[in-house]
A = this chain, B = another copy of it.
Amino acid sequence: MTGAPTPRAVARAETTARIKELALAQLAESGASSLSLRAVARALDLVSSAIYRYYASRDELITALIVDAYDDLAAAVEVAVEHPRRGARHRFVDGCAAMRTWARAEPHRWALIYGSAIPGYTAPADTVAPAARVVRALCTPVADDRGIGTGRDVGGRLGAQLDATGAALDLDVDRATMLTLIGAFGRLVGLLTLELNGHFVGGLEPADDLWAAIVEREADDLGL
């Protein structure tokens, strides 16, 4: 069945990939909300209606781009974090650096996944697994280094939520560490969002030093 893919199937896969590729290029220079299926079709020498053979709607194309972006970012962080010879602290810092590097290189794709949701557009379930992969990758150095513990435990509803989150991410860390990790991830996302959206132009640009200082502090908080 899968032995010899028919020429038509090959062509279809190729066209689908080209559409995504051209959409990405267009995204890079005009942003998500002005992504035009018609323009993609034009660039492909196709009539606009033909696009709908490949993506049922503009939202479906955007969803594909979102999933790709998550996967791409997650892969970048995973690679950065996967240095077996370095200590946990170095791996965490490298993971953070990889995230910022990716975000600065692909600000439009960053905006796609961590920016404001497109109005009326609700992310389908396909996106949650890739999204989780990103935060999981960033957390693995800490999980691998587990055993330190911050002393304080977290109880109540928040404790249960943290347990559930750790389980969903397949991370074996105590609650207090999980809380710190979520806080760290939130901080990274926030600072990156602010930087990419130009909120730092006043006096904090370039933000390399700021980023480094913050990440070091975060590593301290994580007991790395």
* CB atoms of A186 and B194 under 8 A apart: yes
Closest 7 CB pairs of A and B: A31-B119, A115-B116, A190-B190, A111-B116, A164-B203, A158-B209, A186-B191
CA A186 – CA B186 in complex, angstroms? 8
Q: Is A33 an interface residue (CB 8 A)?
A: yes
* CB atoms of A198 and B117 under 8 A apart: yes
Contacts of A183 in B (CB 8 A): 187, 191, 214, 217
Query: Which of A183, A187, A192, A217 counts the most chain B CB atoms within 10 A?
Result: A187
Nearest neighbor of A110 in chain B, beta-carbon distance: B116
Residues of A171-224 at the interface with B, using a CB-CB cut-off of 8 Å, are: 179, 182-183, 185-194, 196-199, 201-204, 209-210, 213-214, 217
Q: Is A156 an interface residue (CB 8 A)?
A: yes
Residues of A76-110 at the interface with B, using a CB-CB cut-off of 8 Å, are: 108, 110
Contact mask A122-142 → B, CB, 8 Å, 1/0? 110000100110000000000
Known contacts A33-B33, A189-B194; A209 and B114 CB within 8 A of each other: no
* CB atoms of A203 and B31 under 8 A apart: no
Contacts of A168 in B (CB 8 A): 202-203
Contacts of A30 in B (CB 8 A): 119-120
Cβ distance A136 to chain B, nearest Cβ, rounded Å = 12
CA A194 – CA B128 in complex, angstroms? 13
Q: Is A157 an interface residue (CB 8 A)?
A: yes
CA A102 – CA B216 in complex, angstroms? 31
Contacts of A154 in B (CB 8 A): 213
CA A186 – CA B191 in complex, angstroms? 5
